[in-house]
Structure 1
Amino acid sequence: MSTFAAVSCTSTVVSRHVLRPFLKRRRQLGDPPSTILDSVRSTRKGTTTWLHQQSRASTTARSAEDQPLVSLRNARLSYRPEDTSEAHVSQPISLDIWHPSRGGHLLLGRNGTGKSLITQTLATNGTGTLVDGEYVVTAPQWHSRTVTHVTFRSHQDVLQTSAHLTSYKVIAEGGQVSKAAQFLIVRFGLYPLLHREISTLSTGEIRKVLLVRALATRPRLLILDNAFDGLDVASRENLLDLVRQTLRGFKQDILVQGIDAKNAARTQICLVTQRPEEVADEFTNVAFLDPPHTDRVSPETSAQGGDLRTMVRNGQRATQIFAQSLGTTSPLEEGDLDDSPWDSRKDEYWNAPGLPTLTEMSIWWNHGRKDDDDGTSSTNTTLPLVDAQGLRIQKGSTVVLQELDWKVWPSQHWLVAGGNGAGKSTLSRLLAYCETDSDTEGYLRVLHGKRNLPQIDIDDGQQTVVGSQFVHRRPGVGWVSTESHLQRVHDQRTAREILLEEASSDSYIVQTVTEWFNLTHDPKLLEQHFADLSQGQQKLVLLAAAISSRPRILVLDEPCQGLDIVHRRLLLGLVERLCQATDTNDTDTSSRSITLIYITHHMEEVLPSINQVVHLKDGQAVYQGSRKLYNPDLL
């Protein structure tokens, strides 16, 4: 069957005099027949009607600025459109994405409300998510490269399909790097990384590669779903400036680098974020699901119980908009949305309602515990918990860590700081797993186990795979990071099964932690497959699982990525209280205290209990010592 005949059969809204010119244009653009079919094929009862709208747009007198680029009309969405049960399908959603002359679009809401489901629908023309309703495109010349996106899913996809490719090839997508891409490469400092494989890059560096690839294509619609996550301060400022200029139209100093102002001005941006500081003034259109009400089951069920609301910003501050999207009305809670240092607002956080008391936390921590019950010989308080001597990690021709000497003692809580690519995430992974990496040199001992890299004891811990390397999990270490999240993103076990595995099947431990994280308010959430949860819900489950293991060392690498302010405040409050409840100067009980190693690019997340800092730069420790003497501006 020809492509014309196949498309004619699948589309009920396209006339033949519109279809033939359309197919010709799509072939000229290089789109394969399968992509053309997907663009007009109905998904169950849902219909993609953009060809019909394109024809109608050509006969209307309205200008392009007066009509939406793309719309969802009474669309019900699901990651599993073949399963029409109410548990998996959103409420009907109607949303218009306008021409950028009307300002950018914000999509806000708590974790689990369906934001990423909406952005995936926009990015794929409704393919694979549209249960019923319509996905309508009014803008002319809309094709497969019209919409680009930087999301958790695109990060996952590039690691799965392009890990062995260099950054250059990923950005160029099989061709040559454009002038626009060249400018962006310089802007994000990616030139030294162009010939490194994706698998050797840090989380933040991969995010930069995705941003350059997305922006360089000059899309009509750019979707940024928590795209600032993982970026250091300088890179976040660069991205925010680029977002502003994209919505405004680039100025002349940018045009000389090869970016055409006419094309740049046509790019609309839909931003999903959980941080007010990432919202530029140019975002004037706001959409969010109604915040959960007291008669609803929990914040996590609002995707099934809430309606999408839209509003025009009208000069409102970003914190005011976030307060509305989260159902927050009191001045105190709105004030929590700023980025002031945690130490300066200590009392209002650590005494917040809902957090367990120090006594309750201590009882939970010591429940059923025996000395050395994790096999880590943790009763020996005369040795450091982490002892690194001359540690050197090389990936390909790149040295990620070099000559690191570092000791972590009981009751210390460390901040690991540094820019993108400094070696922070590599260090966090080494603390959690023992790798069979021939490019590892030096000495590393964790929790008094015998570790002389690159040799490992294959009988110690649980074996798993990271990339192409076999690794072995270190007992007594809890680890949550973007990398650990990506390892489990498709896990078909239920959330409860994952939690029980970490807590050695102790139901009391799991029940208590899930109550602290508000995961029990929705009785169905813990029984869902982990893969079916939203990004934010998955992160909460992984955090609860790590804490349920009651580890001697808790390694949190950017744990707040993807979490809304409600859950960020909850997480950080719980971790701070855990540090306080287990800290002790008694040498007989110090073996039961927890040691926190925290990695973040957001200094407002640095907890009061953190008392030590190691700052990495180009793989070297340029500062080690007291937090009180630490000044990153001098490094």
Structure 2
Amino acid sequence: MNIRLDNLSVNFDDRFQMDDINWQLDDSQHWVITGANGSGKSALAAILAGAGNQLLGSIEGLPDKVGLVSFEAQAELIERERKKDDADIMDVISEGTPVHEILSENGRNPELIDKLVTMFKLEGLVNRSFRKLSTGESRKVMLIRALASEPDLLILDEPFDGLDAHTLEMLQHYLASLVETVPMVMVLNRFDEFPEFITHIAYVDHGRLQLQIERNDDKAYSELYQLLHLKTTNLEVPEADPDNRLPPLDPNQPLVRLNKINITYDGHKIIDSLDWTIERNQHWQLSGPNGSGKTGLLSLITGDHPQCYVNDIFVFGFQRGKGESIWQIKQFIGYVSTALQWEYKVGTGLRNVIISGFYDSIGLYTKATERQKKIADEWLALLGMNDRADEPFNKLSYGDQRLLLIARAMVKHPPLLILDEPCLGLDDMNRQLVLALIEKICAGSETSVLYVNHHPEDKIKGIDNYLALEKR
């Protein structure tokens, strides 16, 4: 078996769409598909079973005999049985199809069925109507049907859900006995349920196959674990320090209002008469090619641009040029950039890096309060780094450093968080980690996020406002 998906886009009755899928599976591999709820895990598995309407691309090598277990397939079988009631005439109520007939459909191996029925302890239920089974019992029937079909490919979507501990252990052992003869693709949310025989992991997000890693790649596996922690954890963005709150802003005023902004270098206009307003709790994506003025526009907001005072700029309650200091402006802004990461070359521990955000310092030179330590530890827990509080910052990977600096910028809950090309220089895995953290911040705080990048199509869930600059 060699299955190949090239640039594949598949639509599922306009309910969901998978796009740009490039994936290759062979009969020596056993895959887990994972990702957050609603990411497209089950849809990707269903494609291998022939589901969906192919829009673009190609898929080759799908085997004829596919054993499928999924909640959707289970629901379809239950619906099929329900329709038999609707077709009954003369007030005769059907008892429904007995379990033994459900199991033996399509010429499944009767000896294997008997063996599996015993293993799953369903001997007393084979004559019962399928639709009278409990959810867990009907799940076992679905598993037996798939296994008894002796498939060329076995697709198991959350096969362990709803099973008691004994059945779960038995099933894992049985699946392990098939690894030499049947390639498997499993959809799983929980890392602790990944069977030992899994060789590869596919990570799905927003209807795309974002990452593919080998199970024995310890570094990539650890990063994927952290990514899924960020995407699926119930932990919320930690609260601000009530003893260290920022001055209140007028709720009726925008955070930023730029009126007919111009930026000129050597007589050449980079930005010409731009109007832009950022309201409270609004998230923006700013994009554009090199030279389009993204950095200049940001520095007008932060107060670092020399042309601030020849433009009409209102920020955080201040009309620029009316006597305010730059520090009065900057206290309301959290800022992360590659340049900051280059400057932040300290060996202090991760907890102290986050606490330094309370003081806008590189390194920590003030004794932290117990409350600040607690808040920093909550951020570390959100990032999946709660056991690394004292690890030196300068020993972290590039991607983990970026995550810590975003937490540092957010720790005081600034009204505006500016992330200037936060994914620059990151590999695919670390890029996904950073984007997951940005999504978490957008969903779980009152901070407005200004996400800056080159690509307007590189969208983040929760960001609904877009400003695309063009090079003049």
TM-score with structure 1 length normalisation?
A: 0.35
TM-score with structure 2 length normalisation?
A: 0.46
Larger relative contact order (Cα-Cα within 8 Å, sequence gap ≥ 6): 2
